[in-house]
Amino acid sequence: MQVFVFVLNRTEHLENLLQSFSEHGISGATVLDSKGMARILHSEDELPIIYGLRSIVEPERRSSKTIFCVLPDEKVQLARDIVNKVTGGLDVPDSGIMFAMPLTFVEGLEKTIKK
């Protein structure tokens, strides 16, 4: 089992991404609003009125969505493939970052998995 994490900067892809996950049997994802360090530091340097106008002009660029879920090892590559297909690839600047980490235990799922 692994925890799969994807920080989606181009939030216009969120609905399609989650729909594709669901169609391929990936469920139970949690989606959080998030903001990267660079965006926080940059926005503090702006005047409040400029920041307000910028958030209206490009609202999807001001925050990200962090999506995470627990997946069996064999579904991690599928999740990666879906992310790359829906987003057009993470080699596109400012599109996001994804990673997975092995888990030593999981509790609270339909099937409790212990190692």
Give me the number of domains the chain comprises: 1
DSSP assignment letter at 99 = E
First CA to last CA distance, the chain: 10
CATH code of 108's domain:
3.30.70.120
Containing domain of residue 9, as a range? 2-114
Asked whether 101 and 42 are in contact (CB, 8 A), the reply is no
What is the tens place of the pLDDT at every residue in 23-32?
999 999 999 9
pLDDT value of residue 54: 56
Average pLDDT over residues 50-70: 70
What is the tens place of the pLDDT at every residue in 78-95?
999 999 999 999 998 888
